[in-house]
Amino acid sequence: MLKGINMFKKEKSEHGLNIVIVGCGKVGSTLVEQLSKEGHDITIIDKDSSRIQMITNMYDAMGVVGNGATYSSQVEAGIDKADLFIAVTDSDELNLLCCTVAKRVGKCVTIARVHTPEYSKEAKYLKEKLGLEMIINPELESAKVISRILYLPTAEEVSSFAHGQVEMVKIRIPEGNSLENVRIKDIGRNVTESVVICAIERNGEVFIPSGEFIIRAGDLLSFVASRKQTLSFLKNIGFKTGKVRDALIVGGGKGTYYLADQLIKAGIEVRIIELNHHTCEKLSVLLPKATIINEDGSNEETLKEAGIESVQAFIPLTGMDEENVLLSLHAKQVSKAKVVTRISRNNFKGIVENMDLGSVIYPKYITSDAIVGYVRARKNSIDSNIETLYQMFDSKAEAIEFKIENKSAITGVALADLKLKHDLLIAFINRGGEIIFPGGSDTIEVGDTVMIVTTHTGFNDVQDILA
Amino acid sequence: MNSPMIRKILGHIMRIEAILMLLPCLVALIYKESVGFIYLTVAGLTAIVGSLLILKRTDDNTLYLKEGCVATSLSWIVLSLIGAAPFAISGEIPSYIDALFETISGFTTTGSSILSDVEALSHTALFWRSFTHWIGGMGVLVFLMSIVSLSGGSTINLMKAESPGPSVGKLTPKIKSTARMLYLIYAGMTIVMIIFMLAGGCSLFDAVTISCGTAGTGGFGIKNDSMAGYSPYIQWVVTIFMMLFGVNFNAFYFLIMRKFKEAFSIEEVKWYFAVIISSIAIIFINIRNIYSSAGEAVRHAAFQVASIITTSGFATADFDTWNTNCKIVLVFLMFIGACAGSTGGGIKVSRFIVMLRTMKKEIGAYIYPKSVKKIMFEGKPADHEMVRSINTYMVTYILLFGISLFLISLQGEDLVTTFTSVTTCINNIGPGLAKVGPTCNFGYMSIGSKLVLMFDMLAGRLELFPILILLHPRMFKDLLVSSVKNMRK
């Protein structure tokens, strides 16, 4: 009987959505990787047959060689049966055209990647007028992630939930910290009030800790708390909590524009080094408050002159991963600045992880998280809905915000009485804007938003938390 | 080399074969034949060994092209080695080498036999012999993929190695549903054929075995005179279904999906039928006077043409007695073969289309040396990779053909026998001409010759490279080293 249920569940999950993806660049191939893992029927369209070949050899997807904006290519890719159409080529215009055509030809929901600042400013208008379900902008999203880190530079990573009311913060426990060798339940109430430690990574393995878990030096610790609590918690365990005063960015691409824009708005002084004079001029128009330096950022002298030794944050955003890594390593050597490294491609991840590059962010994962979360929510039953999906620790764990739509087995029952899966934790409950960090007697009610953290993958429905 | 994964695939294949071997047991039960116990025992042992092979977990599920090829060819070899066992143990085919020849001939859908008196076999053995055609026709790994999720999209490399044709595409985004769809079409058409056969007054056993042989384009008959003894109706049914099973299965998929325009605009299929019709016409003109009525002549011409081009190898007439013009046309058909993505063998119509267009382009380049012309195929420009791989395929094919010809010539038979015996095996047809003609068999050949022909059959079915890569010294070493490493673990 038990086996029968399992098999049924497996069958159910195998029945995925029909998804057409145009463009097999970095974002496109990450999407194929993640979505095919979740059991969807994926068809990819790209002009380059060798890219199609490579992806179809690696992942369970069908390829169509052609221009994704043409009717014939879309029909060949089965647009008539598609549930979801995602255009993630490098060109905004093409993406928008693809989605417009798809919307007319099929009955699918469309998602477009739009990343040039001009269009991005009009994202809302475009979305509405072209009937797009979602506009994704990897550069803008990663700029947001970087700026959150710079507001709280002691953290390795900061992400926000419940419309910014709750933050998930990742810190590394240094040698000699007051939390070292402490059992989680023994952490004093005065230190950890309203802070939930939800996941810990040690030597590449991720744990969802119970009260008995003992923290060691070197652990990467993720916790959720409100902004205020985060600051007081970090202060109590001896972390600095001020945001950075100034930032130095190398490279003047789209990512730089979005980041600088965010930082300037937050009152952080920004210096940008860019080699191309024309780009510099453009940036200086777009970002009048920033200091634009027209120099070669990979030159040691230039960096010294721009004040790398005294700056508080250093973010290399050149188009080359290799150059970014090198610049980060250099910055780590010559200054005490908070370094954030952006890795666009994802080769040699093992090496990157073992190098001291400060906080590392992967834009393509940020994008695919948003889409995977959306896709899971689409596939979902009516009991609940995924609001946000956030992959933690290199996809080894997931944080998911569920909106509880209907009464079910989990609503109205004290959490202590629910039989939950192992390696799973309810991080917080958002009840109409009030954030509850739950204890055993709290309940989940209809209308709540619940965030769970788990090392299981593929949760679609809040019911999945039950053992 | 990911040998744990290869081992796992072999384990799965063995389990599938064990299950499939239960069907002849059922036949034995119906006809109350004691050989059924032998099949049951072999199936049981195979299932146990197969399950043991799967038991150990694999960490890495990725199959690169080379692993796909190695796993496929090893699967086919293991499949044949086990499938031959019941024949040899029961003593119906006393020599194991002969039994192996018969089984490989079955799985590769060749249909060349070493038996002189087929009718002496038990029903169980006859069924298993014909059933191997059905299993081999669409491919056992495709079957495996349709039922087991071998996680990861890289299993497309298994399908690439097993499915015939220069390029393998998917019908649906997911490999599992593609495999399932192929088998659904395949099984559905087989059942339709069985119904047509029964409607013609054929006994159930004959209908099932002949349909299995036709569906896989195999050609093992259950009568000594192959299909000659059946009524004209049955012969026409078989003719039409042979032609259908030689069609690219994409066409049937489009039909099911109600995309009629796409289904009827497949270039390869059009050419395939063009070749069939013109061959029937030529042969009809030649044999008109041998037979009493035009209807009979058309029937024999159509049957033989369909049988040879789809590489089935049934026969209703001894075409060895026809004139040379007919025989040459049939030999041409042997090389052309069926469509890519069908159950038939041979070089495939699509390869010939691309090769002829390449030739035309080259000739054009003599007139306007700087002219640029892309080779078109199925309404799309054929990419350079595909053209190159087809050319390489041809060269390899000719070389392998030459070597086999040389080795078989040591047997000391006449030129026609030697030539057609290799032709018929490498193209998975069945009968050749002269001493291996439709009324004769391969039983008299030496063990050495049989081994060469067995190799040719496997190489022909798997389209050369998967089986040749197994002979690459590097593969050998890789496989050995990684197995030893795993053993130590």
Residue A381 has pLDDT above 80, yes or no: no
Residue A10 has pLDDT above 60, yes or no: no
pLDDT reported for residue A4: 36
Name the residue type at position A192.
Answer: T
Residue A2 has pLDDT above 60, yes or no: no
Q: Which of A41, A65, A78 sits opposite B174 (nearest CB)?
A: A41
A-to-B residue pairs, Cβ atoms closer than 8 angstroms: 40
Q: Could you give phi then psi for residue A155, rounded to 5 degrees?
A: -85, 150
Which residues 136-165 of chain B have a CB within 8 Å of chain A?
149, 152-157
B177 touches chain A (CB under 8 A): yes
Beta strands in B177-334 (DSSP E): none
Residue A56 has pLDDT above 90, yes or no: no
Do residues A102 and A20 make contact, with C-beta atoms less than 8 angstroms apart? yes
Task: Search chain A and give the residue with CA nearest B147.
Answer: A11
Residues of B in contact with A58 (CB under 8 A): 153-154
Q: Which of B156, B174, B383 sits opposite A57 (nearest CB)?
A: B156
- A330 pLDDT band (50/70/90 cuts)? very high
The widest CA-to-CA distance across chain B, in whole angstroms, is 73
Contact yes or no for B177 and A60 at CB 8 A: no
Task: Search chain A and give the residue with CA nearest B169.
Answer: A62
Q: How many residues does chain A have?
A: 467
Strand pairing category for A434-436 and A220-226: unpaired
pLDDT reported for residue A402: 85
3-state secondary structure of B407: helix
Task: Search chain B and give the residue with CA nearest A54.
Answer: B154
pLDDT reported for residue A189: 66
Separation of alpha carbons A387 and A402, rounded Å: 6
Buried b (16+ CB within 10 A) or exposed e, B354-375: bbebbeeeeeeeeeeeeeeeeb
Q: Which of A36, A62, A65 sits opposite B170 (nearest CB)?
A: A62
Q: Could you give phi then psi for residue A49, rounded to 5 degrees?
A: -70, -30
Angstroms from B381 CA to nearest CA on chain A = 11
Residues of A in contact with B177 (CB under 8 A): 41
B170 touches chain A (CB under 8 A): yes
- A7 pLDDT band (50/70/90 cuts)? very low
Q: DSSP labels for A11-25? A: HHHHS--EEEEE--S
Angstroms from B106 CA to nearest CA on chain A = 31
Classify A380-465 by CATH class: alpha beta
pLDDT reported for residue B207: 93
Residues of B in contact with A14 (CB under 8 A): 149, 176
Task: Search chain B and give the residue with CA nearest A56.
Answer: B153
Q: What is the mean pLDDT of residues A229-236?
A: 84
Among A58, A62, A67, pick the best mutation site for testing chain B contact (most B Cβ within 10 A).
A62
ipTM of the complex in this document: 0.74
Q: Which of B153, B380, B383 sits opposite A59 (nearest CB)?
A: B153
Q: Which of B173, B176, B380 sits opposite A62 (nearest CB)?
A: B173
Contact yes or no for B175 and A18 at CB 8 A: no
- A192 pLDDT band (50/70/90 cuts)? low
Helical packing angle, B22-31 and B123-138, nearest 10°: 150
Q: Which of B155, B173, B380 sits opposite A42 (nearest CB)?
A: B173
Separation of alpha carbons B237 and B227, rounded Å: 12
Assigned superfamily of A246-361: NAD(P)-binding Rossmann-like Domain (3.40.50.720)
Separation of alpha carbons B330 and B433, rounded Å: 10
User: What is the token pair recorded at A338?
Assistant: 């908070």
Contact yes or no for A58 and B157 at CB 8 A: no
User: What is the token pair recorded at A15?
Assistant: 């029945």
Among candidates A401, A467, A409, which has minimal Cα distance to A443?
A: A409
Contact yes or no for A60 and B152 at CB 8 A: yes
Task: Count the alpha carbons within 13 Å of B82 in the hemisphere toward its beta carbon.
Answer: 28
Residues of A in contact with B380 (CB under 8 A): 65
Separation of alpha carbons A241 and A238, rounded Å: 9
Angstroms from A312 CA to nearest CA on chain B = 43
pLDDT reported for residue B84: 94
Contact yes or no for B156 and A49 at CB 8 A: no
Residue A76, Cβ density class (10 Å: 0-12 exposed, 13-18 middle, ≥19 buried): middle
Among A44, A60, A80, pick the best mutation site for testing chain B contact (most B Cβ within 10 A).
A60
Residues of B in contact with A52 (CB under 8 A): none
* CA A203 to each of CA A200, A210, A353, B260: distance values in angstroms, whole numbers, following the listed order: 10, 18, 11, 58
Task: Count the alpha carbons within 13 Å of B165 in the hemisphere toward its beta carbon.
Answer: 23
Separation of alpha carbons A326 and A341, rounded Å: 10
Do residues B146 and B180 make contact, with C-beta atoms less than 8 angstroms apart? yes
- Listed in order, the ranges of chain A carrying CATH 3.30.70.1450 are 380-465
Do residues B377 and B353 make contact, with C-beta atoms less than 8 angstroms apart? yes
Provide the whole-model pTM.
Answer: 0.81
Among A24, A41, A47, A57, pick the best mutation site for testing chain B contact (most B Cβ within 10 A).
A57
- pLDDT tens, residue by residue, B272-303: 999 999 999 999 999 998 888 999 999 999 99
Residues in a beta bridge with A62:
A43
Output the CA torsion sign for B349, B354, B355, B356: positive
Contact yes or no for A59 and B152 at CB 8 A: yes
pLDDT reported for residue A173: 86
Contact residues for B33 (Cβ-Cβ < 8 A; gap 6+): B27, B122, B123, B124
Contact residues for A384 (Cβ-Cβ < 8 A; gap 6+): A402, A403, A404, A405, A406, A408, A461, A462, A463
Do residues B204 and B198 make contact, with C-beta atoms less than 8 angstroms apart? yes
Residue A384 has pLDDT above 60, yes or no: no
- pLDDT tens, residue by residue, A63-117: 888 899 999 889 888 888 888 999 999 899 999 999 999 988 888 889 999 988 8
Do residues B203 and B126 make contact, with C-beta atoms less than 8 angstroms apart? no
- Listed in order, the ranges of chain A carrying CATH 3.40.50.720 are 14-136, 246-361
Most confident option among A47-51, A81-85, A196-200, B42-46:
B42-46
User: What is the token pair recorded at B300?
Assistant: 């024999």
Angstroms from A60 CA to nearest CA on chain B = 4
Do residues B158 and B145 make contact, with C-beta atoms less than 8 angstroms apart? yes
* Residue ranges of chain B whose pLDDT lies below 50: none
B474 touches chain A (CB under 8 A): no
Separation of alpha carbons A162 and A150, rounded Å: 20
Contact yes or no for A60 and B175 at CB 8 A: yes
Q: Could you give phi then psi for residue B442, rounded to 5 degrees?
A: -95, 5
Contact yes or no for B177 and A41 at CB 8 A: yes
Name the residue type at position A390.
Answer: Y
Separation of alpha carbons A43 and A234, rounded Å: 47
Q: Which of B149, B172, B383 sits opposite A41 (nearest CB)?
A: B172
Contact yes or no for B383 and A43 at CB 8 A: no
Lowest mean pLDDT among A10-24, A65-79, A349-363, B370-384: A10-24
Cα dihedral A221→A225→A229→A231 (10° resolution):
50
For residue A234, what is the enclosing H or E element?
A: helix A227-236
Residues of A in contact with B175 (CB under 8 A): 60
Residues of A in contact with B387 (CB under 8 A): none
For chain B, the straight-line distance linking the first and the last C-alpha, in angstroms and rounded, comes to 16
Contact yes or no for A57 and B157 at CB 8 A: yes
- Between CA B162 and CA B167, with CA B166 as vertex, the angle to 5 degrees is 80
Strand pairing category for A313-316 and A338-342: parallel
Residue A172 has pLDDT above 90, yes or no: no
Angstroms from B385 CA to nearest CA on chain A = 10
Q: How far is CA A133 from the centre of its chain?
A: 19
Lowest mean pLDDT among A279-293, A396-410, B80-94: A396-410
3-state secondary structure of B245: helix
Contact yes or no for A57 and B152 at CB 8 A: no
Angstroms from A366 CA to nearest CA on chain B = 23
Contact residues for A290 (Cβ-Cβ < 8 A; gap 6+): A260, A264, A270, A271, A272, A283, A284
Angstroms from B156 CA to nearest CA on chain A = 6
More confident call, A57 vs B96: B96
3-state secondary structure of A428: strand
Name the residue type at position A424.
Answer: L
Do residues B240 and B213 make contact, with C-beta atoms less than 8 angstroms apart? no
Q: Which of B153, B157, B383 sits opposite A61 (nearest CB)?
A: B153
Residues of A with CB under 8 A from a CB of B: 14, 18, 36, 41-43, 49, 56-62, 65, 78
Q: Which of A14, A41, A56 sits opposite B156 (nearest CB)?
A: A56
Do residues A417 and A410 make contact, with C-beta atoms less than 8 angstroms apart? no
Separation of alpha carbons B257 and B189, rounded Å: 16
Contact yes or no for B153 and A58 at CB 8 A: yes
Q: Which of A49, A58, A65 sits opposite B154 (nearest CB)?
A: A58
Which residues 47-66 of chain B have a CB within 8 Å of chain A?
65
When the candidates are 3.40.50.720, 3.20.20.140, 3.90.650.10, 3.40.190.10, the CATH number that belongs to A14-136 is 3.40.50.720
Separation of alpha carbons B21 and B390, rounded Å: 37
- pLDDT tens, residue by residue, B428-476: 998 888 888 888 888 888 999 999 999 999 999 988 888 888 888 887 7
Percentage with pLDDT > 90 across chain A: 17
- Between CA A300 and CA A308, with CA A305 as vertex, the angle to 5 degrees is 70
Task: Search chain B and give the residue with CA nearest A57.
Answer: B154
Separation of alpha carbons A336 and A326, rounded Å: 16
- For chain B, give me the number of helices (H) and strands (E)? 22, 2
Do residues B71 and B64 make contact, with C-beta atoms less than 8 angstroms apart? no
